[in-house]
Homo-oligomer: A and B are copies of this chain.
Amino acid sequence: MPSSASRAAPQPLYKQIADTVAKMIHDGVLRPGERTPSLRAICDQHGVSMSTAVQAFVELESSGLVEPRHKSGFFVKFPPQALFDLPGPPRVPMSGSLGNRHASLFDAVVSANVIALGGAVPSPDILPTVKLNRMLAEKARHAGARGVMYDLPPGSELLRRQISKRMLKGGAVVAPADIITTCGATEALMLCLRAVTKPGDVVAVESPIYFGILHVLEALSLRALEIPTDSQHGLRLDVLERVLKTQPVHACIALPAFSNPLGAAMSDDAKQRLVALLKKYQIPLIEDDVFGELPFGPKRARTCKSYDDSGLVLFCSSFSKTLAPGYRVGWVVPGRYYHAVRMAKLTHTLATATLPELAIAGFLAEGGYDHWLRSVRTIYKENVARMRRAILEEFPAGTTVTTPQGGFLLWVTMPPKVDAIALYDRALAKGISIAPGHLFSLEPRYTHCIRISCGEPWSPRLAAAIHTLGALAHRQIK
């Protein structure tokens, strides 16, 4: 079957086969979740060798159309961003069942008896616990009066100097005086929203989006406008642009580096375009970079902040995913909103705890952080790969899993018949906590999705948990 494109070199055989299968998918002959013709069937049908058939499927997989499943062949993927295009009207998040589930996720994290796959929390086994605690002990012994006194905003200069150096690795030239320390990125995010919005304002967010952000919007009486987000490339700029032309948006929150829950990474080009687009409309961009230091590759990507020439980007991050969640040390670079964020910090918590700040500053000053990050990135990469493989093996046919290039979160899209809340309830009864997709949107878009955290090194215990989850999901589609 030669290609019909005139004069063009005929496509290689494997491409032609891939195109044929792709057409079947696009035409709906093969539907999401269904098994594709087997390799053997392809060989017979097209009269090609097994290696050509395999090549065709590699092509289909890399274009995101099919998904290999261990010992079961290939299946048609669910296209995640096909679920919606233009967002509906902005909505104020509603508490209630969402709130209760949010709280119970955290209960699971702290419960020793529950396998906590629901919270995006790193396992202490992975963190440099001993070294950090030793640093804190040393700072406490030598800090004297300073240790017990307020470290009022903007917070420890020692720490801000270290953060300034780190931000340079993301391409942003930020002076220590531009930084305000916070009680983690959670507080940073809230301070930013307090600085740039008022009740009733519309905030554009990714979709699916970390439920904590929906709660913060709710707490501040803001309306969320969910922008479709590609599981590989992040926030859909084309959609955002269309939205900005037609309705007021007062702020935008993006997680360009390994979004939560998708693990998507925006390209440098896309980040630059996002910053330029929002500048055009004079809309502040709140950049949440908590996973930014955790790429699977050797080098962290540039930040949106690095493209900010107008002070409209408010950059938020923390050490909670990389060093010590319990120290509650984060920071914000508020750009032109510095004064408002500082005032908000004073009314919010007055100050960040002094000695944890000094301990983190000491840890960073000692120079071991990059070395440490390299090793932890390898661990997370391995965790994610093994968890991903296990899910694809254990979950019902048609299940797809994101392929993040950093962080430690997986977004699992199951066949539409599976209800994530039912799965959540049944899993919890068996001592396993997951984050049901319902939490990640104000619309019922992700009711067959779950977020799985890979913050803990792979183990038989985790393998058994995934086996159990898979069996529970299977039971729902019988």
Residue of B nearest to A102 (CB): B346
Cβ contacts A289-331/B at 8 Å (1 or 0 each): 0000000000000000000000000000000100111111000
Known: A133-B140, A134-B141, A326-B354; 16 extra A-B contacts, CB below 8 A, are A95-B343, A103-B342, A124-B145, A124-B148, A124-B149, A127-B148, A133-B143, A133-B144, A134-B140, A137-B138, A150-B320, A184-B349, A187-B349, A198-B221, A212-B350, A328-B349
A351 is an interface residue with CB less than 8 A from chain B = yes
**Do A327 and B349 touch across chains, with their CB atoms under 8 A apart?**
no
A225 is an interface residue with CB less than 8 A from chain B = no
A70 is an interface residue with CB less than 8 A from chain B = no
Please, how many angstroms separate the alpha-carbon atoms of A359 and B325 in the complex?
A: 17
Shortest distance between the CB of A354 and any CB in chain B (Å): 4
**Do B186 and A350 touch across chains, with their CB atoms under 8 A apart?**
yes
Please, how many angstroms separate the alpha-carbon atoms of A95 and B356 in the complex?
A: 31
Which residue of the partner chain, among B103, B138, B186, B342, contacts A349 with CB atoms under 8 Å?
B186
A413 is an interface residue with CB less than 8 A from chain B = no
With A144-B133, A150-B325 as known contacts, state yes or no: A346 contacts B106, CB within 8 Å. yes
Q: Which residues of A contact B (CB under 8 A)?
A: 95, 99, 102-103, 106, 109-110, 121, 124-125, 127, 129-130, 132-134, 136-138, 140-141, 143-153, 183-184, 186-187, 190, 194, 198-199, 212, 215-216, 218-219, 221, 320, 323-328, 339, 342-344, 346-356, 359
Shortest distance between the CB of A203 and any CB in chain B (Å): 14
Please, how many angstroms separate the alpha-carbon atoms of A347 and B186 in the complex?
A: 7
Residues of chain B with a CB closer than 8 A to A325's CB: 148-150, 351
**Do B149 and A348 touch across chains, with their CB atoms under 8 A apart?**
no
Residues of chain B with a CB closer than 8 A to A147's CB: 129, 132-133, 136, 324, 326
**Do B150 and A129 touch across chains, with their CB atoms under 8 A apart?**
no
Residues of chain B with a CB closer than 8 A to A342's CB: 103
Please, how many angstroms separate the alpha-carbon atoms of A328 and B187 in the complex?
A: 14
Please, how many angstroms separate the alpha-carbon atoms of A290 and B283 in the complex?
A: 40
**Do B328 and A219 touch across chains, with their CB atoms under 8 A apart?**
no
**Do A348 and B221 touch across chains, with their CB atoms under 8 A apart?**
no
Which residue of the partner chain, among B145, B212, B346, contacts A125 with CB atoms under 8 Å?
B145
Which 7 residue pairs across A and B have the least CB separation, nearest first?
Answer: A124-B145, A326-B354, A148-B324, A137-B140, A137-B137, A183-B349, A136-B140
Please, how many angstroms separate the alpha-carbon atoms of A228 and B103 in the complex?
A: 40
Copies of this chain: 2
Shortest distance between the CB of A457 and any CB in chain B (Å): 13
Shortest distance between the CB of A186 and any CB in chain B (Å): 4
Residue of B nearest to A324 (CB): B148
**Do B133 and A136 touch across chains, with their CB atoms under 8 A apart?**
no
Shortest distance between the CB of A260 and any CB in chain B (Å): 14
**Do A106 and B152 touch across chains, with their CB atoms under 8 A apart?**
yes
Which residue of the partner chain, among B110, B133, B351, contacts A328 with CB atoms under 8 Å?
B351
Residue of B nearest to A328 (CB): B353
Shortest distance between the CB of A246 and any CB in chain B (Å): 27
Please, how many angstroms separate the alpha-carbon atoms of A58 and B89 in the complex?
A: 72
Shortest distance between the CB of A154 and any CB in chain B (Å): 10
Chain A to chain B contacts (Cβ below 8 Å), 15 pairs: A99-B343, A103-B342, A109-B150, A124-B149, A133-B144, A134-B140, A134-B141, A137-B138, A148-B324, A183-B350, A184-B350, A187-B349, A187-B350, A194-B219, A212-B350
Residues of chain B with a CB closer than 8 A to A148's CB: 124, 127, 129, 132-133, 323-327
Which residue of the partner chain, among B129, B146, B186, contacts A144 with CB atoms under 8 Å?
B129
Please, how many angstroms separate the alpha-carbon atoms of A102 and B342 in the complex?
A: 11
Residues of chain B with a CB closer than 8 A to A127's CB: 145, 148
Please, how many angstroms separate the alpha-carbon atoms of A454 and B91 in the complex?
A: 50
